[in-house]
Amino acid sequence: MTEVKICGVNSEAAFDAVVEAGADYLGFVFFKRSPRFVTAAEAANLSARYGGGPQRVGLFVQPDIAAIQAVRAELQLDVLQIYGDPALCREISEQTNLPVWRAVGVRQAEDLPTAIDAETGLVIEAAPPKDATRPGGNAVTFDWSILRGWQTPVPWLLAGGLSVENVAEAIRISNAPGVDVSSGVETAPGEKSAALIKQFVLNARNASRWVQ
């Protein structure tokens, strides 16, 4: 069954909707340029609303270890999603002993990673546009067919521009074992819709993956 991550959770209503929809992962964004940014204290208060449910993923952009540890002092995270190179991911993995997912932006098949260092997972999305202010979360899709036949030793999620309308097609074309959405379940930047979250999870779960 396709795994689902809902990223950019920043309100009680959004948190409750993700839990109720049965998503596998719930993402908190610790990057101030994002409209979905939360502080460690805010994320901790939200996470405390429910003791189980989705695994908590902390998203960081080019962080130092101190920034990650400051968040962890207030909030238990299950996974770290990192925008950074493999060396940074290795350092973070060694210092935190947490699973590290590396976010990778791609434009063509040659951009897909073929070697894994310390990463335990990958998030594959479109490379950011030239005028982007964020490395990800830009609601941009790419040619999902380049993922056909791609081999990686770690689990991965497909991200970038996914929505209720296109997630099933994206899974069928890419054969993605998991999907990651943020703006695609929002009515405005940073404002999650409970109805869209529920429908996205349902559509992802019901999609049939592409078969070679």
Domain annotation covers residue 212 = no
CATH number of the domain encompassing residue 124: 3.20.20.70
Domain annotation covers residue 136 = yes
Say what the pLDDT of residue 211 is: 45
Say what the pLDDT of residue 149 is: 87
Q: How many domains does the chain have?
A: 1
As a whole number of angstroms, the distance between CA 124 and CA 180 comes to 9
- Render each residue's pLDDT in the chain as its tens digit; 212 residues: 899 999 999 999 999 999 999 999 999 999 999 999 999 999 999 999 999 999 999 999 999 999 999 999 999 999 999 999 999 999 999 999 999 999 999 999 999 998 899 999 999 999 876 776 666 565 789 999 999 889 888 999 999 999 999 999 999 999 999 999 999 999 999 999 999 999 999 999 999 665 44
Domain annotation covers residue 197 = yes
Domain range holding 40?
Answer: 3-206
Say what the pLDDT of residue 133 is: 61
Q: Cα torsion for 164, 24, 20, 97, to the nearest 10°? A: -130
As a whole number of angstroms, the distance between CA 59 and CA 159 comes to 14
Residue 157 contacts residue 5 (beta carbons within 8 Å): yes
Q: How far is CA 52 from the centre of its chain?
A: 19
Domain annotation covers residue 166 = yes
